[in-house]
Structure 1
Amino acid sequence: MDRHKRVELTRVTNALATPSQLQKSQTRGLTLSLVSSLHYLGGSLTQIGGAILNIPAPAIATSAIIFHRFHLLAGFLESSIRDTVAACLYIASKTCEIPLRPSAILAAVDTACEDPLAVGGKRIPKRKYSHANTETLDHWELRILTTLAFDMHVVTPYTLCFEYLVAMNVDNDRQKILAQRAWNYINDTMKTKICILHQPNVIAVTAIWLAAREADIELLDGEKWWEAFDVDTEDMGHVVLLLREGRNIAIRERDRVVSGREPTLTIEDVKERVLEEASLSSW
């Protein structure tokens, strides 16, 4: 690939968080650390619930992006994470044209809430839900839609990742290695605010770069191949730093559960956590 030649690919973008939205989200009585943890827990629940429902990764990512967008604007003191995760999966199932029963979504999310830091291996249990339960789902679906001004346009990095590997003429064997590892990195970005801070092309390119470094595979003889996809090293570096932060959050939240404390999933849990952090800071 000519280092000066741009790859002609369809330009796809998402609505990203603005500086004013980020600043406002940090002035609702919650520490930045707690807000990051809550985004991580919601993103994890979305992935586990989606896996239980056996829906494709792009649909799970769509629900995660909607979740992060909504809570960026609405905060975490007006709704339980359980309700909004269920509603986001419900919305994503419609936008991605995947027929799912409301009761199945509720059962999957409730199962995920039993162990929100687990990784797969669960099936939807047989649970009965009343009309009131599905009305709650409908309520939060409408609340999310109106908060986001009914803008449900979402582009996920998965397809772009494969397109970029093909565009660089990566051979099949290396493509499989890179695609799988990059896929895992993309999954990690959906657990955090990364997916509403950076465009999908930046996430896809960074995931490929990390995968290539991990697998010790050099792409295009060391050329700055990422520039062909309109990505600069500053944005890539920021994504890498946020991924590291996400892993630290995962460790922190698992340590809390191991020490006997419940995950922060309800409004009451969030309020208790605020008091907990305040008492710790007073020492």
Structure 2
Amino acid sequence: MKLFYIIIICLISSLSEGRSGGGRETSSCIADYLKSKGLIESNLGSDRPLNPLCTTVVQVTKSHIMDSVKLEVMSDKNMKKEVDCVIENLSKTDFSNNLLVVYVYETSDNIVDREKKIQEAQSKVTRATFDAFLRCKSEKNFGLYFDDLLEVDSSAVEEEEASHKEDYCIRKYIIEKRLIDLEIYNLKMNPKNLDTTKINCTYLTPKYIKDFEDDLVRTLLDDSSEDSAEEPKELNPIEVACLWNAIRKGKYVDEMIPYNYLKEFNLGSETKRNLRSKFVAFMRNLSDSLTKCTL
């Protein structure tokens, strides 16, 4: 219901702006337009035919009202689809005309039972907004429930596809840079048989490496604070940059990435021990780099 009340508030605000700054020409055009539609009393507006300029003024006014609603709620991304749905449904009704009727009645004095007619027009606006809101809410809730019953979760499929593409790019990176002994480890570049013509490794590989570097920095900083009896020290940007430079200069990421893929191979106990010793050694070197950056 939150969206419904936000829209009503926006509409009230739009009417207030119209009353304060619409101008006599705008008011006259709106009255002439509504009179030509038979929506207000014959004594309101002029007897002149509706001219193209007035038609444009009315269209701009209607658009301004809808834009005001969108602008107010678009800051909440979760509401965007609902707002678009409500606006689309309202555009198929007499909603905007009824809103203009409210505007004319509130800016005119020579009307019999003025307050009663304002309330009747406002009720039509509120009812139309509420009906549109309910239609969109039902479509969202029950439509999603139907999708859940019959369809595969598209977001999960997209995430899996993205993961496979990234995996291909990293395998390609390891093989082309010969980060492991390819004579010992026959790492497959494309085990999923993906269509590689649609994979942009120029983007995916650097992104993966950057994320890997960020995770490595966070891990090292967490480890250093846990090992210290003192309060964790917050590094300044220069110290963090020093650590990143040390990681890149020592090519630690290139050293570590292949370990994620060695589990595909049947490693003997001695091989695991050797790899473990090598891993511990270069991690110790990396920790030393952290210490030098923070002295």
Asked if Structure 1 and Structure 2 have the same fold, meaning a TM-score greater than 0.5 normalized by the shorter chain, the answer is no
Q: Which has the higher helix share?
A: 2
TM-score (norm 1): 0.20
| Greater Cα radius of gyration, structure 1 or 2 | 2
TM-score by length of 2: 0.20
